Structure 1
């Protein structure tokens, strides 16, 4: 574990997880073996990070988010409270042959509260997923996605401001 890492006493962090300098791990967070968390991240209350998950530098993961095996989050990503990631295209209670389907969230993207990210998708750089949206297909960079299923309704700049046209 790097220097200047804060881990709340109620957090459960496996000794085999890697946590970058300046990262804060708050109340009731669980980080499993083999997870890699970058520098200067914030993992808020009740976050679950599965084994082998990779989270880049400068990310903020809000309350009650579960990030499952197969999800990769690049640098400077925001994940809003109660957002959901899946990792199985055909989830069944009894499926011994199930496979993890990877998901990639590119640099600078924002995922709103209660959004669902269906596995097998790539969320482009600086894309913004509106609260409550359900992402079922790849999202292009800077796209503003809304709805169920999520549809592109416009574009945003790196700061999240609406753009008049596609960048």
Structure 2
């Protein structure tokens, strides 16, 4: 079995993978702070019982798993592991991360609706960090699209059917 990246120079592949990883590291740093704040929201009476808090917390965790999945796929590609469909895995991981990010803002806004004014600073910090996470995920996806060119969309279209299966 050979690599899916035949015809792509290793330096070009590594440049794109480096750039994707750099974007994800910035997003992960923001996610870590958001996760801490989100956990702290459970101690704030005006947010503790908000209907969006659990979905928001789950979305933040989901994004963390997504970052790990992309990094794992990149690491396997770099190590030269002979994994079938490595391009498909990279697209699947990045696009799934994009889908998770789409859930972040609505769940956050629901979680902080009716928050006590004394915690507005934390709410605004979280909102800012959520935007940073989204920005880095979008950047990583754009880099993946640039890297794979028209192949990206063809692979993503095939993955769409799998991503439609609800997670348990």
TM-score, normalising length: structure 2: 0.23
TM-score, normalising length: structure 1: 0.23
* Bigger strand fraction: 1
* Bigger helix fraction: 2
> Over alpha carbons, which structure has the higher Rg?
2
User: Which has the higher relative contact order, 1 or 2, with Cα contacts under 8 A spaced 6 or more apart?
Assistant: 2
